[in-house]
Copies of this chain bind each other. A is one copy, B any other.
Amino acid sequence: MLKDGVLDPQGKAIEHALHVLGFLDVENVRAGRIIELETAAKTQEAALKQGEEMGRNLLANGVIENFSVEVIQ
């Protein structure tokens, strides 16, 4: 997800559209990305480490985005 303080035009556009549709009590809409993948990592720790490495190296833009890794067996 985008870091706090980073402008989120997509979130703003979704918020506006939801208000137009009558969901008036909705606020602070933030849009982000979710990436699911399968890995052959042998342990939960190895998969977590690999996920964080992929996040840092490719999947997340560290300047404007925070990311988190969840391992599901």
A7 at the interface (CB under 8 A from B): no
Q: Determine chain A's interface SS by DSSP, over half rule.
A: mixed
Flag if B54 contacts A37 (CB, 8 Å).
no
In-complex Cβ contact of A36 among B17, B23, B32 (8 A): B32
How often does this chain occur in the complex, in copies? Answer: 2
A63 at the interface (CB under 8 A from B): no
Which residues on A are within 8 Å of B, measured CB to CB? 1, 11, 14-15, 17-18, 21, 23, 25-41, 50, 53-54, 57-59
Shortest Cβ-Cβ A-B pairs, 9 listed: A25-B40, A29-B37, A30-B36, A34-B34, A28-B38, A32-B34, A27-B38, A26-B39, A26-B37
